[in-house]
Amino acid sequence: MAARADILALAAQLRAGFEARGARAVETPILQPADTLLDLYGEEIRARAYTATDALRGEQMMRPDFTVPVVQMHMTQGADPARYTYAGEVFRRQEHDPDRANEYIQVGYEVFDRTDPAASDAEVFSAISQALQGLSLRAATGDIGILKAAIQGLKTTDTRKAMLLRHIWRPRRFRALFERYSNPLDTAPSRAALFRAEDPFAAAGPEIGLRGRAEIAHRLHALRDDVATPPLSQHDVAIIDSLLAVRETAPFALQQLRDIAVDIPAIMPAIDRLDARLSALADRGVDVDNLDFEASYGRTSMEYYDGFVFGFYAEGRPDLPPVATGGRYDALTRELGQGAEIPAVGAVLRPGLMLELQEMAG
Amino acid sequence: MTLKLGVPSKGRLMEKTFDWFAKAGIQLSRSGSDREYAGMVDGIDGVSLVLLSAGEIPRELAAGRIHLGVTGTDLIQEKLARWEQQVEEIRPMGFGDADLIIAVPRFWVDVETLDDLDAAAADFRARHGHRLRIATKYHRLVREFLRDEGVADYMLVDSQGATEGTVKNETAEAIADITSTGETLRANHLKILSDGLILRSQATLWRSRVADYDGTDRQALAELLDRVGG
């Protein structure tokens, strides 16, 4: 473990570096209102963030990341475009791995800019990459937007697409749903009886709770429709499978994706965005020919990324968390913007891990 | 030093624990008045009785303040992170059976499985503007179970008692709670999801892996384990 003073010094230096790129340094409170975070992340945030309670303000969470407060601040009072940087502690509960830190320093760089998303993606990636120079790291990249576009492009009902989209972040659940939709539905006998019943509520108990009769009837209707929905074609199944399997250096990945897009043109705009991003990265001197691209990358994080995603990992140290992670989160600005939205991309670094790796390298 | 045995301090759980040890020739009893939480042990040397609330026994075992303790699997797994490293299961005791389950109103004729619950939660959130609430006191167990099963769009609300009533009172839409016969659930118009069993629990004798054991403690432990067949 590096000394705290050294970590803080490096954090200040990194933040100053981002300021030199035109970012405004910002501070956010450590205690965040719990309801915003809960609404955004769901119950999972309680497993990751520390909750503090008092009788006056109720539940508050100790800042699990800076992104949410920075986006909120930007959405209420930010200039357009804007760049921000910050450095400070974040807090994460650890219930399974005692070697993972529950408090550490993060330094971040966030770009809110409508003009050229590909250029902003490249700007953030190369800023982080340069800050990490000298460390032996492997960059991983992906693009959640391509997967989303592919799901939108499937020949099936909007209900099924919505279910698949909502479980992108839960690969096991996604796989189970995908397999179910790929085969004729097997209706349980009890459910078949329910569909046949004149009054499906005949054997039900009294109507209690907020979820009322109309809501249940509505879902019964949707379930009946779903039974009548034909399974995904073998063609569509093969497309998603080959898309999820793309794992190559960026130029080859791009070529594979273009081949796949012949069969599912809906992903073309997303692939053009990837293409533009790779050009923008090359313009910034990133060695794109040797950059890894993985179509499934970023799906197991709890985050809100909906386009470009990336992370930097210590070579030969799979036990360590990523030294930096980032990505595009346009949807988050929509969620927090109460009607307003702005394309946004950002990333965070962990100076403590950077020092640890430097020490190990001697 | 003596080997400290933690036992629930009241009710049927205490009585059944006393009976269970009595069968092994170890007589546990509360000393003094009914209101005094002090205990006595006869029939074995070097063991002392500590009467505690069943909910505090996991913590005391994990802190090493007691060597042995009787409590449910549910409480051990809920309250202790990485519980296998802190306590060792000696023997299930054959009583205090309880299943931690997820239940929804019987009126929800469209919901039988976790898959249905997930879909209903998505609809519910879109319609009501907040997540579907599940009342429980077993936050960690329920959260980890639902994460593994891939259920989204729910939130847990804390309920330390009368959990079955929360749906009717409209403070929750579903519950996750302990049930043994299911009678309370039925009386409150709730049904268990077909794949909604989170954990089967029963009263169990546990050994602390972190407590200090001196020579006499070890002797007493060996003797006790031998008698109860652990």
Q: What is the dihedral of CA A284, A285, A287, A289, to 10 degrees?
A: 70
Q: Please tell me the least confidently modeled range out of A170-174, A284-288, B60-64.
A: A170-174
Distance CA A89, CA A30 (A): 8
- Chain A neighbours among B 146-165 (CB < 8 Å)? 146-147, 149-150, 152-156
CA distance A219 to chain B (A): 7
Nearest to A329 by CA among A300, A309, A349: A309
Judged by a CB distance cut-off of 8 A, whether residue B108 touches chain A is yes
Average pLDDT, chain A: 93
Do the Cβ atoms of A208 and B189 come within 8 Å?
A: yes
3-state secondary structure of A91: strand
Region B1-7: mean pLDDT is 92
pLDDT at B230 over 70: no
Per residue in A39-61, pLDDT (tens digit) is 888 888 998 999 999 999 889 99
CA distance A245 to chain B (A): 22
pLDDT over 70 percentage in chain B: 97
Per residue in A316-359, pLDDT (tens digit) is 888 899 999 999 999 899 888 888 889 999 999 999 999 999 98
Which of A51, A92, A208, A220 should one mutate to test binding to chain B, selecting the residue with the greatest count of B CBs within 10 A?
A: A208
Per residue in A101-153, pLDDT (tens digit) is 999 999 999 999 999 999 999 999 999 999 999 999 999 999 999 999 999 99
pLDDT at B85 over 70: yes
Structure tokens at A343: 């394309």
Around Cβ A5, how many Cβ atoms within 10 Å? 8
Chain A CB contacts of B144 under 8 Å are: 47
Of A39, A47, A205, the CB nearest to B107: A205
pLDDT at A187 over 90: no
DSSP string, B119-168: HHHHHHHHHHSSPEEEEES-HHHHHHHHHHHT--SEEEEE-SS-GGGTTT
Q: Which residues pair with B190 in a beta bridge?
A: B105
Query: What is the CA A91 to chain-centroid distance, rounded?
Result: 19
Per the rule left: phi > 0, alpha: psi between -120 and 50, beta: everything else, B192 is beta
pLDDT at B221 over 90: yes
Q: What pLDDT is attached to residue A302?
A: 59
Which of A157, A211, A220, A338 should one mutate to test binding to chain B, selecting the residue with the greatest count of B CBs within 10 A?
A: A211
> From residue B30, how far is each of B15, B35, B50, B51 by CA, in Å?
10, 9, 10, 8
Domain ranges of chain A: 4-151+238-361, 157-232
pTM: 0.88
Of B106, B109, B147, the CB nearest to A44: B147
Is residue B107 within 8 A of residue A216, CB to CB? The reply is yes
ipTM over 0.90: no
pLDDT at B34 over 70: no
Per residue in B92-128, pLDDT (tens digit) is 999 999 999 999 999 999 999 999 999 999 999 999 9
Distance CA A73, CA A19 (A): 18
Residue A83: pLDDT band with limits 50, 70, 90: very high
CA distance A208 to chain B (A): 5
Chain A CB contacts of B149 under 8 Å are: 173
CA atoms within 13 A of residue A99's CA, in its CB half-sphere = 4
Query: What is the CA A1 to chain-centroid distance, rounded?
Result: 29
CA atoms within 13 A of residue B134's CA, in its CB half-sphere = 31
Nearest to A143 by CA among A38, A291, A44: A291
Q: What pLDDT is attached to residue B36?
A: 65
Region B175-194: mean pLDDT is 94
Residue B224: pLDDT band with limits 50, 70, 90: very high
Q: What pLDDT is attached to residue B33?
A: 67
Residue corresponding to tokens 């992170």 = B81
The CATH class that applies to domain A4-151+238-361 reads alpha beta
Contacts of B219 (CB under 8 A, 6+ apart): B46
Distance CA A24, CA A9 (A): 19
Is residue A257 within 8 A of residue A239, CB to CB? The reply is no
